[in-house]
Amino acid sequence: MQTAYEAGRLTLGYFGTAAARPEFKSDDTPVTAADREAEKLIRARISGRYPAHAIVGEEYGADEGDGGDHRWIVDPIDGTKAFVRGVPLYGVLIGLEIGGVCEVGAAYFPALDEMLCAATGEGCFANGRRAHVSATPRLDAAIACFTDAKGFEKYGRGEEWKRILSAAGEARGWSDAYGHALVATGRADLMLEPAMNPWDAGPFPPILREAGGFFGDWSGKEGEIYAEEGLSTTPTLLPEVLRILQNK
């Protein structure tokens, strides 16, 4: 949690300034000096304390460490497009996978000064207060979050998204990681991502699980971060959401 906080404060030195101007990687996604410097800080903190642990991050790839079953999953800025445009919903994401299961997670949103963290069996906390998913009883009363509406068509999920959009009470964008945080804290009820890397998802299995919710893939596999898609919701809404996604 402290490392996520420190990395987040580092990014604020770039946020809203000319220094946040991006370069573009080979996949045409943006990256800034803040992404690189924040990941360097996170890696240095982890390696200094846990030199044998593996680390995988968006900007500097995988370091397999010296064995063991602990693997840190790092996204120094989730929502770089928001970051470079001065939208304050970007986050610093750190997850810890133990024996192939995501057990610990921290998501810090520096421009909002919101910290969400959880560990298996220890609860989920938002700025020190216990966090819980909502009690919304039906999807037609729910708020669904997404990042880019065009992304569903781009990744072949347009029909699924249209069905969810028709069934949900409301839909709100500009989400990235913040959409999953909104679900975990009961401020939204569903977050859907048709394309998601492991570092985008790393902290959310324990965060949603400990908040009484669900994070996993669109088939309903809980805790899945390697399916290249993501879904956060409540246990009440999950059966209906899966039925609609699978068109049953």
Contact between 208 and 181 (Cβ < 8 Å) = no
pLDDT at residue 162, rounded to an integer: 97
Please state which architecture CATH assigns to domain 2-128: 2-Layer Sandwich (3.30)
Please state which architecture CATH assigns to domain 139-245: 3-Layer(aba) Sandwich (3.40)
Minimal CA–CA distance to 4: which of 116, 103, 112?
116
DSSP SS3 for 135 = coil
DSSP states of 28-54: S-EE-HHHHHHHHHHHHHHHHH-TTSE
pLDDT at residue 67, rounded to an integer: 66
What is the phi/psi pair of residue 64, to 5°? -80, -5
Lookup: tokens for 117: 């963290």
pLDDT at residue 214, rounded to an integer: 98
- Would you kindly state where each structural domain of the chain is located, as residue ranges? 2-128, 139-245
Question: What whole-number distance in Å separates Cα of residue 189 and Cα of residue 236?
Answer: 10
pLDDT at residue 115, rounded to an integer: 98
pLDDT at residue 26, rounded to an integer: 77
Contact between 105 and 94 (Cβ < 8 Å) = yes
Question: What whole-number distance in Å separates Cα of residue 218 and Cα of residue 194?
Answer: 9
Lookup: tokens for 44: 């240095």
Mark the ranges of the chain whose per-residue pLDDT is less than 70: 67
Span 224-241, pLDDT tens digits: 999 999 999 999 999 999
Contact between 74 and 39 (Cβ < 8 Å) = yes
Lookup: tokens for 196: 């998601």
Contact between 234 and 136 (Cβ < 8 Å) = yes
Compute the CA torsion angle 24, 28, 29, 34 (nearest 10 deg).
-10
Say if strands 61-63 and 54-57 run parallel, antiparallel, or are unpaired: antiparallel
pTM given for the model? 0.96
Lookup: tokens for 97: 């996978």
Span 79-111, pLDDT tens digits: 999 999 999 999 999 999 999 999 999 999 999
